[in-house]
Amino acid sequence: MPESGVESPICTSTLVCEQIIQDRATGKLSLIGVFNRLAAESLPYRENLAVFFSLTNGRGSVEIRLQIEQDDGEALVQIRGTHSIPSPLTILDHGVQLRNVSFKKAGRHWATVWCGEELLNRRPFDVVLAPQQPNAGPIPPGAEGV
């Protein structure tokens, strides 16, 4: 339960992508390579990714937690931060870069956003094993442009 004068925000959107770029002049965020599926060559699989989420309708100082979870709820990554929300009309857009996330198994995964122990939003994405390409041997000279 939030302390007096504090209202938990709602999370209106959560997206998983390859990277997030912030324009220095405007502060606007650009989400690059939004995806719902990662193709792993083998497991465990390591990947850089980013998560965007948007908060509104809150007030006060709130602790926000971002997690990447397996379908069984095991957290692979957990990032915490305290955010000050001056008014319920405030919209806070956040982009978090995650480096070298290790996926242990194929299947459904989740990007989850929490306020304290309250789940605000979650975005599913799948990790799948990519089909292995047979080794066709070296490329013959002159065939590089084919």
The full set of domain ranges for the chain reads 10-91+103-129
**What pLDDT was estimated at residue 5?**
78
The per-residue pLDDT for 6 is: 87
Q: Looking at residue 83, what is its pLDDT?
A: 92
Name the β-bridge partners of 74: none
Phi-psi region of 107 (alpha: psi -120 to 50; beta: other; left: phi over 0): left
Q: Which CATH class is domain 10-91+103-129?
A: mainly beta
Predicted local distance difference test score (pLDDT) of residue 1: 45
pLDDT digit of tens for each residue in the chain (146 aa)? 456 678 999 999 999 999 999 999 999 999 999 999 999 999 999 999 999 999 999 999 999 999 999 999 999 999 999 999 999 999 999 999 999 999 999 999 999 999 999 999 999 999 999 887 666 556 666 655 55
Which residue is listed with tokens 């465990």?
A: 44
Tell the burial category of 40 from Cβ atoms under 10 Å away from its Cβ (0-12, 13-18, 19+): middle
pLDDT of residue 80: 97
Residue 131, pLDDT score: 81
Alpha-carbon distance of 96 to 121, in angstroms, equals: 15
Q: Is the peptide bond before 86 cis (omega within 30 degrees of 0)?
A: no
CB atoms within 10 A of CB 64: 23
